[in-house]
Copies of this chain bind each other. A is one copy, B any other.
Amino acid sequence: MVREQRRLNLEDIARMSGVSRSTVSRVLNDDPKVSDAVRTRVRTVLTETRFHPNAAARSLATHRTGIIGLVFPRVFTMMFTDPWASVLIKGCLEGSERADLSLVHMLVSTDDQASVDRFFERSVTGRHLDGVILGSHVLGDKLVARLQEEDFPYMLIGRDEHRTANFVDIDNRQAARIATQHLIDHGYRRIVHLSGPPDLVTALDRQDGFFDAIREAGNDPDTVQVECGYFEQVTGFELTLRLLQQPDPPDAIFAADDAMAIGAIQAARELGRSVPNDVAIVGFDDIDMNRMYRPELTTVRQPSDALGRTAVGILSTMITNPSTTPVQRWLSAELIVRGSCGCSFSNSRANGLVQGKEGSPFGPGPNNLIVQT
């Protein structure tokens, strides 16, 4: 085991190419103030020796590590088996590759002060990270406030409850309104909403949108049934199993995410009910897996990978170029109409495009661009 052999450093490369340490450093950092002759000479040595500067030393000198964190609240550990989250993570990875950053995965119990402290000590105070992406935002989250307090670069996936933080999101409320509207237009009258965890802003927004549509149709929101659970297939399965066996079962279900919607389809099938004839189902997310279920799921498509990519992209610029005002960006979502809602045609798009621009509660503005990444 020769692990402990001394590795090359700048000094060595300098000696080997007959220049000084500083010049080698300049070549490594693409400083234009190096003559072409010297540059090529150093570059040759660099490639021959396969040299790469020590990350720790570089960080120590530059106060930058090139690492960003992707934090999920521990409550959502099941995120890792969630197809939506997987796509989000993929988007974040692509974004970090583009920005030449490394992505560290971490779980933090955002409701537990000790856990938050531990995260802060290691990652923020210890300057382990340059910035952080928060995978989802829970009400009363102590993390965001603390990050703001410390002026530490961060980006939320999904807005915060006060809309004062940095975030990338889609207009969940508007999208849910349009999806519910679509069911109402079909003539369904007993529509149940399968909602997500009640402390997740995203879930609440979709719930609000659902109620908006109910109200607009002239119905009393108080008479409408909403069931909460995790954003999981099993949850959708179990809730629907129970709902369909009620005395007065729903004729339509709007699920707050596709996993639950697929679970709902499974449950209907289990009970021998037809989708959409006995019960229509609409989901949210448009995960890849939908292709395999019959009837195909009508759902809201949200650009989960773009959400991740955009968040990392913005974070990256925030790291080098701190912003004093909150950076908030809205991406577009759209209703994808397939068979599960009772539409006879398939694979077409309704006119329910929820644009980042017009659909945003903020109206048009520099922070509300539609970003196609």
Chain B residues with CB under 8 A of A122? 52, 55
Check A104–B107 contact: CB distance below 8 A.
no
Nearest residue (CB) in B for A269 is B294
Q: Does A283 contact B (CB under 8 A)?
A: no
**What is the 8 Å Cβ interface bit string for chain A, positions 100-127, against chain B (1 contact, 0 not)?**
0011111100000000010011100111
User: Which of B50, B56, B89 meets A56, CB within 8 Å?
Assistant: B56
Q: Does A266 contact B (CB under 8 A)?
A: yes
Q: In whole angstroms, how far apart are the Cα atoms of A104 and B80 in the complex?
A: 15
- How many monomers of this chain does the complex have? 2
Check A292–B86 contact: CB distance below 8 A.
no
Distance (whole angstroms) from the CB of A237 to the closest CB of chain B: 5
Chain B residues with CB under 8 A of A104? 67, 102-105
Distance (whole angstroms) from the CB of A216 to the closest CB of chain B: 34
Chain A residues within 8 Å of chain B by Cβ, number: 57
Chief secondary structure at chain A's binding surface? helix
Q: Does A34 contact B (CB under 8 A)?
A: no
Distance (whole angstroms) from the CB of A283 to the closest CB of chain B: 15
Nearest residue (CB) in B for A79 is B86
Check B292–A237 contact: CB distance below 8 A.
yes
Check B55–A57 contact: CB distance below 8 A.
no
Check B292–A234 contact: CB distance below 8 A.
yes
Do A233 and B54 contact each other (CB < 8 Å), given the known contacts A2-B151, A102-B106, A103-B105?
no
User: Which of B55, B103, B127 meets A128, CB within 8 Å?
Assistant: B55
Nearest residue (CB) in B for A124 is B52
Q: Does A90 contact B (CB under 8 A)?
A: yes
Sorted nearest first, the 6 A-B pairs with minimum C-beta distance are A56-B59, A52-B121, A52-B125, A52-B126, A56-B60, A55-B128
